[in-house]
């Protein structure tokens, strides 16, 4: 889209180290967050200044490092179940000398709540893992959110297939349907306020409804 291309042209140039990490991610086919999406997430972090963050879906460590860049004094717990990507993330975070701020856990996020709870509460929870399990992740980890914290869910428009499901087929159509159901469920929760922002691959921003 011309609009997205225009907005990307306005983004500041990341460091050479981050550019290299982006290049490695694209080369390996790792689904790192899109430029406009990560820029939006970093701006949310700058505005809200979270001290503790939880990321569900580390991949190669790209988004965790960008989150830390936006809040250099924060503490981040991040979870990755793929052992190969976990090892890559460990190496990348070490290269950036960020081990004191980023704690990577290897395993299924649906099985690690007890361990994750040791670092709670979280001022920001970032969901960017298995798309069909977003609602499960939300149910499990929302209780660990701080009173004024936020939950950010990526890929909630899923390449445009969520809004135009007839354009998808096979596995993509099934995932799009699951994300559509998640969006419907999330925006109907009376205990939370959610806005879906059509930037990057679609970002949902959720905060607690303090009137409830």
Question: Tokens 């679609």 map to which residue?
Answer: 202
pLDDT-wise least confident of 23-27, 44-48, 123-127, 163-167: 163-167
Question: Residue 59's domain is classified under what CATH number?
Answer: 3.40.50.150
CA dihedral 54, 58, 64, 66 (to 10 degrees): -140
User: What is the number of other CB atoms lying within 10 angstroms of the CB of residue 156?
Assistant: 24
Within-domain flag for 196: yes
The model's confidence at residue 78, banded by pLDDT at 50, 70 and 90, is very high
Q: What is the pLDDT of residue 163?
A: 86
Within-domain flag for 212: no
**How is residue 5 written in tokens?**
């291309």
Within-domain flag for 169: yes
Average model confidence (pLDDT) across the chain: 95
Q: What is the pLDDT of residue 166?
A: 72
Tell me the pTM.
0.96
The boundaries of the domain holding residue 72 are: 2-207
Within-domain flag for 39: yes
Within-domain flag for 92: yes
Beta bridge partners of 154: 203
Residues placed in the known binding site? 33, 63, 80, 108-109, 128, 154-155
Average pLDDT over residues 154-179: 86
Within-domain flag for 128: yes
- Residues 150 and 206 sit within 8 Å (Cβ to Cβ): yes
Residues placed in the known binding site for S-adenosyl-L-methionine? 33, 63, 80, 108-109, 128
Within-domain flag for 106: yes
Average pLDDT over residues 117-140: 97
Q: Count how many domains the chain has.
A: 1
Within-domain flag for 37: yes
Residues placed in the known binding site for Mg(2+)? 128, 154-155
């Amino acid at each position: 889209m011309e609009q997205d291309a225009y907005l990307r042209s306005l983004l500041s140039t990341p460091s050479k180290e981050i550019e290299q990490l982006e290049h490695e991610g694209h080369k390996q086919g790792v689904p790192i967050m899109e430029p406009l999406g990560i820029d939006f997430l970093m701006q949310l972090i700058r505005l809200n200044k979270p001290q503790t963050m939880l990321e569900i879906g580390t991949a190669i460590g790209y988004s965790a490092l960008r989150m830390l860049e936006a809040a250099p004094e924060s503490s981040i717990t991040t979870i990755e179940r793929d052992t190969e990507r976990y090892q890559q993330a460990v190496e990348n975070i070490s290269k950036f000398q960020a081990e004191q701020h980023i704690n990577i856990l290897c395993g299924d996020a649906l099985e690690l709540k007890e361990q994750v709870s040791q670092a709670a509460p979280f001022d920001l929870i970032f969901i960017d893992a298995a798309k069909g399990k977003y609602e499960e992740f939300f149910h499990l980890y929302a209780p660990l959110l701080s009173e004024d914290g936020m939950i950010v869910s990526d890929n909630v428009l899923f390449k445009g297939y969520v809004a135009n499901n007839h354009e998808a087929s096979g596995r993509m159509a099934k995932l799009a349907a699951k994300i559509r159901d998640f969006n419907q469920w999330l925006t109907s929760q009376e205990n939370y306020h959610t806005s879906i922002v059509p930037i990057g691959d679609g970002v949902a921003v959720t905060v607690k409804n303090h009137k409830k």
